[in-house]
Amino acid sequence: MEITTKQFKSCDMVTVKGRIDSSTAPQLTEALEGITGDGRYKIVLDMSELEYMSSAGFRALLSGQRVCKRYNRGEIVLAVVPQRVQEALELAGFTELFKTFEDTVEAVGNF
Amino acid sequence: MSKTTFAANFDSLDDIREFVGEEARRVGFSDKEIYAIQLAADEASTNIIEYAYDGVENGKIEIDCSIVNEELKIVMRDQGKPFDPSSVPEPNVNGDLAERKIGGLGIYLMRKLMDKVSYETSAEGDNLLTMVKRVGDRG
């Protein structure tokens, strides 16, 4: 898995590429904590190049969302969610915890 | 029928998904079903590594795939502590952010994604987890 982060004026974008499972989910947690640790809580997760995500990834997203949404200071939103990942997120009841956008521009515009 | 043994650590998850994915493809499952089977196998293996072996080094997971009567049967065998997934309570998948607990989510997904999930202890004391998916189940 590869993660890149980019800082915009209104938010940060985290791009995940490849597969997120129990082995690689800690990298996602680290990337999210790197941003929230700097006091920024508005994050777009670009999933356009994500192939796979297990519940280990869901767990990383859930803890990240808790931190971001505290005191209404921000949130994590999801952009370009692949169909298979979307189906798993729905099964886990996660789609109601995250706003999702069809493209990254729209997601960034949310902030 | 094919059987392979994997080291019980997270680095094996890629290979485990590939192995069950190949078996599922041979049976003729759709891409959506193959993804579901791979995810279920990943969640099951993750649980074995985290709970049955719980830090034990050199643990092994043996995975046996077979096709019987239009069903793909995946049996996972490990020599860790007895771990019965059905003892784990169902997670809350409807509550708000504060109410969500991540524990049990993997097992919940396994149950949703597969048609049958069962657990038993073998005569030798191994954990045996069996998951079945029927060919042609759309959804």
Domain boundaries, chain B: 2-134
Q: What is the mean pLDDT of residues B9-26?
A: 96
- Which of chain B's residues have a Cβ under 8 Å away from the Cβ of A87? 32, 35
User: Are A23 and B108 in contact (CB < 8 Å)?
Assistant: no
CA–CA dist B101, A79 (Å, integer)? 24
Q: A66 to chain B: which residues are within 8 Å by CB?
A: 97-98
Shortest distance, CA B89 to any CA of chain A (angstroms): 14
Mean pLDDT for all residues in chain A: 97
Q: Is some CB atom of chain B closer than 8 A to the CB atom of A101?
A: no
Residues with Cβ within 8 Å of B9's Cβ and at least 6 positions away in sequence, in order, are B49, B59
The CATH code of the domain at B2-134 is: 3.30.565.10
B1 contacts chain A (CB < 8 A): no
What are the tens digits of pLDDT across the range A17-53? Answer: 999 999 999 999 999 999 999 999 999 999 999 999 9
* Nearest Cα to Cα of residue B38 among B85, A48, B30, A28: B30
pLDDT in tens, B29-72: 999 999 999 999 999 999 999 999 998 989 999 999 999 888 99
Overall fold of domain A2-105: Transcription Regulator spoIIAA (3.30.750)
Residues 16 through 45 of chain A touching chain B, CB cutoff 8 Å: 19, 21-23
The answer to whether residues A94 and A58 touch, using CB atoms and an 8 Å cutoff, is yes
Three-class SS of residue A74? coil
**What whole-number distance in Å separates Cα of residue B42 and Cα of residue B55?**
18
Mutate to test the interface with B, among A68, A90, A91 (most CBs of B within 10 A): A91
Hey, are the CB atoms on A19 and B14 less than 8 Å from each other? yes
Query: What letter represents residue A25's amino acid?
Result: A
CB B131 within 8 A of CB B44: yes
Q: Where are the domains of chain A?
A: 2-105
- For the entire predicted model, the pTM comes to 0.95
Q: How far is CA A34 from CA A5, A43, A88, in A?
A: 10, 11, 26
Give B123→chain A minimum CA distance, Å: 31
